[in-house]
Amino acid sequence: MHDGRPLVHTHALVESDRIGERTRIWAFVHVLPGARIGTDCNICDHVFIENDVRVGDRVTIKSGVQLWDGVRLADDVFVGPNATFTNDLMPRSRNPDFIPLETHVEAGASIGANATILPGLTIGARAMVAAGAVVTRDVPPDTLVAGNPARILRTLDKDAVA
């Protein structure tokens, strides 16, 4: 492919210098200067990554995702297309007292397409959030959640794919 440096599409705007080796950033992605992205990641078209965001190694972020201040994605996380993260429980325009809440997606977890993750939550290691789920509380490791609000459907085998 190339020498290990990140691959950044000519139509991406990457303001951060903290992008790991072999990470691929595709067209129409905007990464603000404070963001940190690990190695071997795949950041698909039309993704926005704010300043106070941390992305681990081998993370896939599909098209149409916005990662707001306070989002933490651990290693091997998958974020499906148009998944929505939030960082404010009581959003108001021009709120001078706004402090973003941290949301943690632990190692190996997957977030399905169009899922919504409320702020301040933890998605446990290897958990799976189904497409379209609205996550309003923490998701334990190795569980599958679905629905609105998201409910635990079953425990996942730690060694199984899904």
Q: How far apart are CA 125 and CA 23, in angstroms?
A: 22
Whole-model pTM: value is: 0.95
**Annotated domain spans of the chain:** 1-89+98-156
CA angle 51, 55, 57 (to 5 degrees): 150
Question: What would the CATH number be for the domain defined by 1-89+98-156?
Answer: 2.160.10.10
Q: Which residues contact 25 (CB under 8 A, 6 or more apart)?
A: 6, 7, 8, 9, 12, 14, 19, 31, 37, 43
Walk along the chain (162 residues) and give the pLDDT tens digit of each residue.
467 899 999 999 999 999 999 999 999 999 999 999 999 999 999 999 999 999 999 999 999 999 999 999 999 999 999 999 999 999 999 999 999 999 999 999 999 999 999 999 999 999 999 999 999 999 999 999 999 999 999 999 876 655
Token readout for 7 is 């691959």
CB 141 within 8 A of CB 108: no
